[in-house]
Structure formats: structure tokens, C-alpha cells
A and B are shown apart, each in its own frame.
Chain A
Amino acid sequence: MSDITRDDVAHLARLARLAVSDAELDLFSGQIDAIVDTVSKVGEIPDDVPPTAQVVPQTNVLRPDETEPSLPRDVALAGAPAAEEGRFRVPRILGEEL
């Protein structure tokens, strides 16, 4: 098996900003271990094969730098969970200890 442990999944959840429950950790650790085990089949592929990141043969897509209408402020804020004084209102970004 791929040896993804319950602690590994808890770590991944923290990295991914997911406050998962203990019950989910139990469920996900077995499932993610089995999935990673299966997809690890790609490990058979020789190292000297070049990677493909995208399939459209395009580079440096450029267009003229022209001014276009942007979203009015009230429209941009309309879907916000909280807005105040014409801005997004967000929770503090620094911890208490700082």
C-alpha cells in the first residue's frame, strides 16, 4: 500500500484548509490510501519520458493592452459574505499571539 496514514491525512487537511472531523479522518485515510495506491501505477513510467503539461500548442498569448469596462464596485461586492464601506469585510489575518 501507499502508506498514507491517518496523521498524513490530518496534515493534508491542514495544508488544504479543511477542518475535517475525526470521523472523516477515519473514512478518508483508508480511501485516500487505496486511491493513491492505485494511481501510483504511473511510477512504472521511465524517468526519461518528457512531461506534457498542456496540449494546446500555444505560447505567449498576447493581446493589445486596451482599457475595458471593469465590474462596478457594488456588483463586485454583491456576492460577498460581508461588505462594509464599499469593501470586502474579512476576518483578521494575524493570530492573537502576534
Chain B
Amino acid sequence: MTGSELISLDAAELARRIHAREVSSVEVTRAHLERIEAVDGPAESGVHAFLHIDADGALAAAEAADRAIAEGTPASPLAGVPIALKDNLTTTDMPTTCASRILEGWRPPYDATVVARLRAAGLVPLGKTNLDEFAMGSSTENSAFGPSRNPWDLTRIPGGSGGGSSSAVAAGEAPLALGSDTGGSIRQPGAVTGTVGVKPTYGTVSRYGLVAFSSSLDQIGPCARSVLDAALLHEVIGGQDKNDQTSVGAPLPPVVEAAEAGARGDLAGVRIGVVTQFSGEGYQPGVLAAFTDAVRLLGELGAEVVEVSCPSFAYALPAYYLIAPSEASSNLARFDAMRYGLRVGDDGERASDEVMSLTREAGFGAEVKRRIMIGTHALSAGSYDALYGKAQKARTLIVRDFTAAFETCDVLISPTTPTTAFAIGERVDDPLAMYLADLCTIPSNLAGNAALSVPCGRSADDGLPVGLQVMAPALADDRAYRVAAAYEVARASVDTAPRIPELRALETSR
């Protein structure tokens, strides 16, 4: 088994081989570290998925997993499988920067709950992945440390904010990754890199140790190359946590079972709603064609496909860009230059609020500043009712649209994002154009329900990956997994694209 074979295998298959002792976790980990070494750098032209790589730590964790397996006591079904972590999740043994200068080099004193659960389950953390600063963006171009690149076309964005995790998984640098999804930051990167990205129901995966951006919307979830792999990871990280007050006590939906059931390819009796608002102007023809093809395939699998109208989804994007900045302006007030992170201008003369202002000016990038100021505006006495208050009302209307749609449909579907990966630099000067990338993903954050993106073939106009979004009611994540797994199998039979891009030019240039 060569390294290039190992990096193209799904996590479930890697786990099977590791647990059968056909290959060791150390060999698998080393293959991924070699792939990272070959394609991730240099930062100016490589995939640049990672901000930090911990080769020694990963190999030590892999050795421990191999020992447990040799003793017949693997910690979990995914023990020994490598994973990449978005760099807004706290880790005691690696820096956590949120791709911001204000946290450059910061070593958190505790592990995020999801990180602690991964470690306990014997997974092997490889390193920390790039993101838009504090997860604010749709392309990773807001990273203070330079953008990640789409492995299918290195001149294009890998999505955002979790473009480091999506590009790592797409490039074969890691079989699994964790992301966080506030407005689409797991699903949109999944769509544009041809990978699976899941935003679980709000409150079903602990946010403890996720550096807060917008607390009522943030949700950690899995990134993978198959629906089953995402489900296996989902079950490792999910479940109630006493350290997160918003964590729900309900049992985690049986997502692995649902993915396995879906893979049998029978969707008879399933009612699927196509959201009519998510098409038309602004949607790339190749994306719409791929989506139409998906609708046909789902019908062939036995599902009944109907159209549903969710008129209030028109308020989702405006409401999101009020609620998320408002919560961010409050959450990011903690970066005050006192207890951790950067401090600028502390000359013994300046008062603390002056030091705080200089530090935040030097430490935050443009998009973070814009959002903090918009949030400050939306929450100010003169604007609160007209902006923040109305955004909270919009949220009610969106929840009502979902409730009505789920009365007649088991799941809803749409393209995950209106276009394929756009060119690096194309939208950086136009924040509003950038925000449109989240058009279809935001409603599920505002309503808190489950949603995922599964690869939906290639766009005929540019050959780049397209994503199919499947939305399910809150606490019914299993429905989305079942439909996505069935679709994945059906599409695989007609798909000719390679699983992992060659990236040979990069490998030979080194």
C-alpha cells in the first residue's frame, strides 16, 4: 500500500484497514504528513490549508492508537484515523489563532470539547487549518496569513470560512476535518471543493472551546469525502456537554445508521422539497444544471420531489448580516489586550482604552472591523429597533417557513451556493458580492435546523465541483444523511471525476 493510495481512501476504509492491522495508524499518518509536505506549501502558491502542523504530536497519537489496537482495545471506530482541525478550536498542544494577528501564537489553556472527544476516541490531530479571520468570510481571503487554495484549481478560492479544512480534505491532506458553520462556513467550502460538509442541528455539538463569532448561530460539524465518514465523525463529536449551556439534552440522531441505510439506494416514501426561491438570477447555469440532474436522480431513487416556496428566505441574508455582526461586536469585545493575545502601544503613559483601541486596530483585519462596526451600529440606541430588532423578527418568519415546508416534506434541497469556486481576488473589494455566497446556507443557521452539502458533480461551464444542500428539521439530521448517502451512491455510478486531484505540478516542482 503506497502513500498515494492511503491518502485517497475514505476514513471508514482507513479505519477498517488500521483496525484489521493491514496498515498501521503511524503509516497512514505519515502518508498524510508527506502529502501535506508535498502540496501544502509554499504559502504563496500551494494549497495552504494548514496554519500549523504538529508532525511529532500526530505520530505520537498514531503510535498510541496502534498500541491500543494491538491490545484489542481501539478507543472508537475511527481510532487511528488522522484529522485536521479548524484553527478556531482551542487546542492545548497547538496554537489557536483564528487566522488573526490578534491571537498569533496563542496557546489556549484548555481543549475544546470536540477536540477532547476526538483525542479520547483515538483520532490523530495533524494540525490546524486556515480560515477567514474569526470565521468571517466565504473564501479564506480574510485570513491574516494568506488564503488557502482550491485543490481543483489553485487560482480559485476553497470557500470559507472553513477553506483550510475543505481544501485539506479535498487535496488528500487529511481524510477528515472539523469546521464551524455560522452562515455556511462548513457547507459552502464543501460545495466548492467537492467534499461533504455538515452543519448539525444547533446545540447538538458542543461549542465549548470554539472561539465565539455569533453564539446563536455558530455550530461545529464534520468535513469529509463521504457521507458515511461525516456521520462517523458526527457521532464522535456530538452529544450534550455541561460546559455549553446551549447544548441540548436530546439523544443524537442515529446518523451513521441513516448513512448506511441511505447507501442502499432506496428513497421510496421520502418527500423532498425543492426550495423555489433558490434559483434564477445570480445562479450559475452549470450549477443549476447539476442541481436539476440531482433532482432527477433523487426521483429515480424513489423519492417524491415537489416544489416548496419559502418567501421569507428573502430576509435571511439581510437578517444574518445584522445578527452575526451584532453578536460578533459583543463577542470580540473580549480581545481587549489584557489577558491574552496581542498588546500594542503599552508605553507606560497610555491608558488601557487607548491601548485596547491601538491593539484592535493593529490586530484585526478589514472584514472583522467592518462587522464589529456594523454590529455596533445595529445595536445602538437609535438603530436597535429598525435593524437588530427587525432581524430577530425575520428569524421568526424564516422558522415559520421551515415549519410549514417540513409539514409536507421530509427534507428540503437547493444548490449549496449559487456559483462554483470564484477566482481569488474576484470579490475582495466588494463585501456584498462576497456575502451572496452564503445565500442558500444562511436560513438553516437562523432557524437552527440541520443541513449538509454533498458533492453534486461538476458544473458543465467550468468543470468545477457543485454542492447539493440537503436541509432537515431540527434533531432530524439523520434524514439529511439518509438522502445524501443515497444520492452519493447514485451519483458515483455516473461520475468520472477523480476522488483526489493530482496536484502533480506542485509535487514535481519541489
Residues of A with Cβ closer than 8 Å to B?
4, 8-9, 12-21, 24, 27-28, 31-32, 34-36, 38-47, 49-56, 58, 61, 63, 71, 75-76, 78-82, 88, 90-96
CA distance A51 to B203 in the complex (A): 20
Shortest CB-to-CB span from A76 to chain B, Å, is 7
Let me know if B361 and A81 touch, CB within 8 A: no
Q: Which of B336-381 contact A (CB under 8 A)?
A: 336-343, 346, 348, 350-358, 360-361, 364, 366, 369-370, 372-374, 376-377, 380
Q: Which residues of A contact B360 (CB under 8 A)?
A: 16-19
Give 12 pairs: A residue, B residue, CB < 8 Å, sorted on A.
A18-B372, A18-B373, A28-B369, A34-B432, A35-B374, A35-B431, A36-B387, A39-B318, A39-B319, A44-B315, A61-B245, A80-B339
Contacting residue for B393 out of A50, A55, A63, A94, CB 8 A: A50
B12-35 interface code vs A (CB 8 A; 1 in, 0 out)? 000000000000000000000000
Shortest CB-to-CB span from A21 to chain B, Å, is 8
Q: Which residues of B contact A39 (CB under 8 A)?
A: 317-319, 321-322, 374, 387, 391
Q: Which residues of B contact A58 (CB under 8 A)?
A: 203, 245-246, 248
A93/B352 contact (C-beta < 8 A), A32-B377, A38-B432 known: yes
Q: Which residues of B contact A95 (CB under 8 A)?
A: 351
Shortest CB-to-CB span from B143 to chain A, Å, is 19
Shortest CB-to-CB span from A48 to chain B, Å, is 9
Shortest CB-to-CB span from A72 to chain B, Å, is 9
Cβ of B447 under 8 Å from chain A: yes
Among B37-45, B66-74, B395-403, B456-464, which stretch is in contact with chain A?
B395-403
Let me know if A50 and B396 touch, CB within 8 A: yes
Let me know if B246 and A54 touch, CB within 8 A: yes
Q: Which residues of B contact A44 (CB under 8 A)?
A: 315
CA distance A95 to B354 in the complex (A): 10
Q: Which residues of A contact B308 (CB under 8 A)?
A: none
A18/B369 contact (C-beta < 8 A), A51-B392, A80-B339, A81-B340 known: yes
Interface SS of chain A: helix, strand, loop or mixed?
loop
Q: Which residues of A contact B393 (CB under 8 A)?
A: 42, 45-47, 49-52
Shortest CB-to-CB span from B320 to chain A, Å, is 9
CA distance A48 to B386 in the complex (A): 13
Shortest CB-to-CB span from A70 to chain B, Å, is 10
Please count the residue pairs between chain A and chain B whose beta carbons lie under 8 angstroms apart in the complex.
Answer: 179
Shortest CB-to-CB span from B227 to chain A, Å, is 25
Contacting residue for B352 out of A52, A56, A80, A92, CB 8 A: A92
Let me know if A56 and B369 touch, CB within 8 A: no
Contacting residue for B386 out of A28, A43, A91, CB 8 A: A43
Shortest CB-to-CB span from A4 to chain B, Å, is 7
Let me know if B432 and A51 touch, CB within 8 A: no
Let me know if A42 and B315 touch, CB within 8 A: yes
Let me know if B357 and A19 touch, CB within 8 A: yes
- Give the size category of B's interface with A: 35 or more
Q: Which residues of B contact A47 (CB under 8 A)?
A: 393
Most buried by B among A9, A42, A75, A94: A42
What residue of chain A has the Cβ atom nearest to residue B246's Cβ? A56
Contacting residue for A92 out of B110, B315, B351, B372, CB 8 A: B351
What residue of chain B has the Cβ atom nearest to residue A71's Cβ? B109
Cβ of B242 under 8 Å from chain A: yes
A16/B372 contact (C-beta < 8 A), A42-B387, A49-B396, A75-B109 known: yes
Shortest CB-to-CB span from A57 to chain B, Å, is 9
Q: Which residues of B contact A34 (CB under 8 A)?
A: 431-432
Cβ of B57 under 8 Å from chain A: no
Cβ of B448 under 8 Å from chain A: yes
A55/B448 contact (C-beta < 8 A), A45-B315, A81-B341, A90-B338 known: yes
Contacting residue for A79 out of B107, B351, B396, CB 8 A: B107
Let me know if A79 and B399 touch, CB within 8 A: no
Cβ of B202 under 8 Å from chain A: yes
Sorted from nearest, which 10 A-B pairs have the closest CB atoms?
A55-B448, A81-B343, A51-B392, A79-B340, A42-B390, A19-B361, A19-B357, A52-B395, A39-B318, A49-B393
Cβ of B55 under 8 Å from chain A: no
